Amino acid sequence: MRQFFYWFIFFILLLIYSCLLVYSARNNSPVMSEDALLASGVSHYKFQRFDLYRVNPPLVRLLAVLPVKNELLSRENVWWRYDTSPLKRSEFTVGIDVVRQHPDYQLLIFRSRIVIALFFGLIGAFTCYFYNKQLFGLIPAFIVLVLWCSSPYILGHGSTIMNDVPAAVFAVTSIYFFWKWLKRPEMLETFLAGLILGLAELTKFTLLIFYPLFIILWILYRLPEFKSLSRQNWFQQLKQITIIFATSLLIINMGYLFEGTGKFLGSYRFQTTLFTGCQTLADVPTGGGNRFDKMPFAYIPIPLPSNFVQGIDTQRLDFERGLPSYLRGEWSEHGWRYYYLYALLIKTPLGTIGLFLLAIFCTVFQKGYNISWRDEMVILLPGIVLLVFVSSQTGFSVHSRYVIPALPFFFIWIAKVGKSFQLKRPIIATLVSILLLWSIFSSLWIYPHSISYFNELAAILPTSNEPRAPQEPEGTPFLVSLLNAGSRNGGRHLLDSNIDWGQDLFYLEKWCLQHQEVTEISIAVNGSYPLEQTKIPTKLMPPINNPQPGWYALSVNHLYDREKQYRHFLNLKPVDSAGYSIYIYHITPEDANRVRREMGLPEI
């Protein structure tokens, strides 16, 4: 009977999680890049080529396109802007032609999102649960399941067709099967570890770090057996590691249909200083270069698809070029090494952070929580390595979602605190319950606007230039204002996909339909969804640094933009908001004149 009860709770949690993902996928408007990803996936099927969106491997795009492939493949004369040049990044212009101009664009995105959200989300939940159950036991397994299913990062980005959550899923699944091989190095485990590693590499280039990591984990895991293992055993396991890597390479090539596999190293044309050997990007020849083309190994065939190799170079180019980056009210031409740690500090529920600190305490000072150091190392080291790796890329710091692949490893390790219930330690067990409930409530209070989630620290931590947060809409109760404080202040700390990625446009449309008195509204919002496909009564962009009476809708990215074109709106109280990324203002002549006087402008 007890076993039935546990399975019942398990499936109820998964059902709730699935409903949360589906609701978000249906109600949140398309975010930046989703149309480009979908169009790129269609191109892979249509042309059997992988030039578009080569900065990420194609597996997620290929799956996302499946429910809408026939509609998009049947479209004619929409590929005229397809350009294979690595510098053009034509997936964005093709995305406009192929997907965004489709009359059923909204429905296409929703159907694609459902496939990605449920497929990867449920695999991630299953893996975290069963991996943790084998490590720490039943109650910790339920805790990690709750952490996964209620995480704002997982709920927000997991309901899109972006690569980050799928990469997290295959990252933890890959480590799980590699751990199974470490425990039992037989041929079945060898091939399964290679298969999942290959699939992981088809989701995100970040996971290339797993190749050296697997070697390190293997050596460290076998250290206690160094003297007991014979030379033959070591050689046998080395052969199996080679089979794991070879199997993964086969899977990668199959994912790319062996496109350009075996191309000579010297024949590639790269664009980065790393692969061309040039001192600066300005020195790179127009057609690209190759630092290896005059070396003895220039004629070595590369056992990888050509667009896999070119994609690594194109992704690297983004970091070498750099992008304007924003952190704590300050703009920079480059990124920060502590960016992702800071983002995790203010975008992870404080209850989860409390559980992490409690897990450290239990590990160091309490008995009964620790398992074999080797098993804990296998789950904790990948998360640390992924966090350090993404933090080391400081060409730009724009998207904290890049750290999502590290999260399931920390969730699994944190959940060890659930052993308090099994060990009958009521004080720690009570604290675990409070922190877990705090984490769930904090996340679900903001849902379905999970992309914009910030915890309570965002409301109190100072920022460099102390930019003002958008005020609460008129009539907001005090308690609601208190609970919203973190996410309302998020733009003071982070921008772009951390808070404002175009996901709230449908909520703005709904607001306009409910307020028929608004016959014209000036809009400056972030996102890729075409305004002409909505029922929003739009007019021109708001005037720059020139307050005028009227109705306005501005998203957080515009309120805090680098040029400070609309910063004066922070001195006005919005009448409402669409989610936590779009604020709606009604400026009266009196409001306009007050702000104009503050700006030193003549009254109207």
Grouping H, G, I as helix, E, B as strand and the rest as coil, residue 551 is strand
What pLDDT does 218 receive?
A: 96
Token pair of 217 as six digits: 């984990």
Q: Does the residue 252 lie in any domain?
A: no
Contact 489, 456 (CB under 8 A): no
* pLDDT for residue 287: 87
Q: How far apart are CA 434 and CA 124, in angstroms?
A: 25
> Percentage of residues in the chain with pLDDT exceeding 90?
78
Domain of 273 in residue numbering reads as 261-327
Final residue of a structural domain among 427, 460, 493: 460
- DSSP bridge partners of 577: 583
363 and 268 share one domain: no
DSSP-derived secondary structure letter, 264 = B
Residue 430: what pLDDT? 97
Is residue 347 located within the same domain as residue 431?
Answer: yes
pLDDT of residue 162: 96
Whether 28 is in a domain gets the answer no
Flag whether 502 is in a domain.
yes
- Calculate the average pLDDT of the chain: 93
Task: Tell me if 101 is assigned to some domain.
Answer: no
Choose the weakest-confidence range: 9-23, 233-247, 285-299, 573-587.
285-299
Q: Give yes or no: residues 416 and 299 share one domain.
A: no
Domain boundary among 310, 327, 344: 327
Asked if residue 10 has pLDDT above 90, the reply is yes
The pLDDT tens digits of the residues spanning 528-554 come to 888 888 999 987 789 899 999 999 999
Q: What's the pLDDT at 231?
A: 82
What is the pLDDT at residue 197?
A: 98
Q: What is the tens place of the pLDDT at every residue in 421-453? A: 999 999 999 999 999 999 999 999 999 999 999
When pLDDT is cut at 50, 70 and 90, the band that residue 470 belongs to is confident
Residue 479 binned pLDDT confidence (cut-offs 50, 70, 90): confident
* Local confidence band at 409 (pLDDT 50, 70, 90 cut-offs): very high
Q: Does residue 20 sit within a domain?
A: no
Domain boundary, last residue among 327, 349, 378: 327
pLDDT at 466 over 80: no
Q: From CA 36, how far away is CA 161, in angstroms rounded?
A: 11
Residues 275 and 349 in one domain: no
- The pLDDT assigned to 583 comes to 96
Q: Is the dihedral of CA 501, 503, 507, 512 positive or negative?
A: positive
Query: Quick one: 308 and 354 in the same domain?
Result: no
Average pLDDT over residues 294-306: 91
Question: Is the model's pLDDT at 87 over the cut of 80?
Answer: no
Residue 211 has pLDDT above 90, yes or no: yes
pLDDT higher than 90, residue 83: no
Instruction: Specify if 389 maps to a domain.
Output: yes
Q: Is the same domain home to 308 and 373?
A: no
Structure pTM? 0.95
Percent over 70 (pLDDT), the chain: 100
Q: Does residue 515 sit in the same domain as residue 499? A: yes
What region does 564 belong to: left with phi over 0, alpha with psi -120 to 50, or beta? left
Q: How confident is the model at residue 103 (pLDDT cuts 50, 70, 90)?
A: confident
Could you give the count of Cα atoms lying within 13 Å of 473 in the half-sphere of its Cβ?
Answer: 16
Contacts by residues 322-325 (CB-CB < 8 Å, ≥ 24 positions apart): 322/395, 322/396, 323/395, 323/396, 323/398, 324/396, 324/562, 325/396, 325/397, 325/398
User: Is residue 339 domain-shared with residue 423, that is, in the same domain?
Assistant: yes
Residue 480 is predicted with a pLDDT of: 82
CA distances from residue 127 to 122, 150, 387 in whole angstroms, order as listed? 8, 16, 20
| Pair (310, 338) in one structural domain | no
Cα dihedral value 596, 599, 602, 604, nearest 10? -20
Tens-place pLDDT, residues 345-357: 999 999 999 999 9
At residue 520 the predicted structure's pLDDT band, cuts being 50, 70 and 90, is: very high
Which of the four pLDDT bands, split at 50, 70 and 90, describes residue 253? very high
Same domain for 416 and 511, yes or no, is: no
Lowest mean pLDDT among 192-201, 310-319, 461-470: 461-470
Is there a domain that residue 2 lies in?
no
Q: Check pLDDT > 80 for residue 77.
A: no
Residue 536 covered by a domain: yes
Beta bridge partners of 554: 524, 583
Choice among 462-471, 479-488, 531-540 with the minimum mean pLDDT = 462-471
Same domain flag for 301 and 282: yes
Confidence of residue 127 (pLDDT cuts 50, 70, 90): very high
How many folded domains does the chain comprise?
A: 3
Are 435 and 321 contained in the same domain?
no
pLDDT band at 271 (very low <50, low <70, confident <90, very high): very high
Residues 6 or more apart whose Cβ sits within 8 Å of residue 404: 153, 154, 157, 164, 165, 167, 168
Return d(Cα 62, Cα 264) in angstroms, integer.
Answer: 27
